[in-house]
Chains A and B, each alone.
Chain A
């Protein structure tokens, strides 16, 4: 019986190729949108997660209110508030820490080839520098990070190297910072959006050199790495409490962990995904109305046939199943086509976005088996729901009226 239904449905669909094709396009577009958007969403999530999880043992402490971006504006923010040696001591007393690295921030004059420019300086231990800024999508364009204990060496941000002076700064060049000689050990890659603010227009030095050059040691941020990743959150809370107590304020310190950043990024991404999939769902509703319309027309056209089937003994249920099978067939084919198009669409998006938006976090759309099952499941559901009414209408026809209908 099932095979017969399928046969009848396939034959009927073949009879009305162009109309079915149009209906099919509708459902395919809806499913395509869902698959593409879900795969891009998944891709964004996993890109962000994989990029940031290398920093999962890291806690960043800054002063004042900053935005979500871990480094953008972070260390330079918190106007006029600095951490004290006492804060560092208190943090050092907390157990389970791998390292505690103060980050200091200031400005200096840079002299290169006889030209002078103002530049932002960031002081940090070389080891943490390579840990934080050495990750995949940051990293160096040329040269290498400094070794611990290196002196008079610096890493130059991309913009500083390429745009500040008439002649480009290259690895191995000499520059002067507030009159002190420095050897250019490495040049950062261009970051574009995201982490840009802490590298593109910066020169990174060791803490010791920073103090020498600026005479300052105001700590704008502290970078802490823990030995046990699972302890990140409790330690972060402890640090926040200790520093806030030192300064007698509830919000002096901003303690950021990668997992908290991940969470907020992911929650934003989820909202975006839900919104986009919601739009796709509207497309699907329209498509399902299309199927319903096609099926209703088909029922009208085949009134006579329905009557004949009933006259030769089809039950209402048999007639209903024939039409529902047809609706499901259309929607499943549409769903299959849409899924393939959605996968291709997601890939196309990643190619286009990476070529127009420039380097950043590369998004590789990921199509999970869940996405495919969901897409086909939704297609199936749409097929059933939208053919239910036409099928019922067909089933309820009086055989005698239907046979008479020409």
Chain B
């Protein structure tokens, strides 16, 4: 297997919670390969394990067994701080509830993860401005999250996700908390990002959102299968 073409390679990933009789198998023998520049949607009902899968791909959580390669690096055995580095450099998160820091302005929110990466102030401010411009929020630079609509907040979150030039954009129900018009706009932006060569993974339970991916996988009871309507 030539891993070089793949951004993500998951090999026999299992994730279990609990012990003894109350053991829960959130993921069972998941194998998946995702190429650079792909646009994948992951669909599944709540409780299916899709969030667990997303957390593992996003290096927020470690698999109980199996290996996960991100850009050919086995991340399943890394320390907390090495995982933080992977999250910082390789992954851009977009959450359902935006998860912006409430005390910071749009500009500061976008530049925060660059500051964790050690990017100097002027560079990061310039880049944050450019990214906010890209998501159509150049008029909201100094607004705090509470002063913006849900759709706008999510676009700030997209700008933040892009800030460290990640290998993967990982979006968890990105349209879950916004109206359909804003949702469409967000999906358009994600599509545009993908068109520029970025790998995009979107987790959703909405078939309309799932359709926008180049391909869709379905998670059910912790198992992955190709999705068909």
Contacts and interface: CB of A to CB of B under 8 A. Distances in A.
Interface of A: 1, 3-4, 7-8, 11-12, 14-15, 304-305, 307-318, 399-400, 403
Contacts of B100: 308
Interface residues on B, range: 20 to 34
B98 to A, nearest CB: 9
A7 B108 contact: yes
Interface of B: 55, 58, 60-61, 80-81, 84-85, 87-89, 93, 95, 99-104, 108, 112-113, 115-118, 121, 160, 164
B104 A403 contact: no
A11 B103 contact: yes
Contacts of A307: 99
Contacts of B84: 310, 313-316
A308 B117 contact: no
A307 B85 CA distance: 15
A1 B115 contact: yes
B112 A304 contact: no
Contact of A3 (B60, B85, B121): B121
Given A313-B87, A400-B61, A318 B95 contact: no
Given A8-B101, A15-B103, A311-B95, 12 more contacts: A1-B115, A12-B103, A305-B102, A309-B116, A311-B87, A312-B88, A312-B93, A313-B113, A315-B80, A399-B60, A400-B60, A403-B60
A313 B99 contact: no
Given A15-B103, A304-B99, A403-B60, A312 B108 contact: no
19 contacts: A1-B115, A8-B101, A8-B104, A305-B101, A307-B99, A308-B101, A309-B101, A311-B87, A311-B95, A312-B93, A313-B84, A314-B88, A315-B80, A315-B116, A316-B81, A316-B84, A317-B81, A400-B55, A403-B99
A7 B95 CA distance: 24
Contact of A312 (B55, B113, B118): B113
Contacts of A3: 121
Given A304-B99, A305-B101, A312 B60 contact: no
B55 to A, nearest CB: 5
Contacts of B116: 309, 312-315, 318
Contacts of B115: 1, 4
A311 B93 contact: yes
B68 to A, nearest CB: 15
Contacts of B108: 7
Contacts of B87: 310-313
A376 B34 CA distance: 56
B158 to A, nearest CB: 12
A317 B55 CA distance: 22
A311 B103 contact: no
Contacts of A305: 101-102
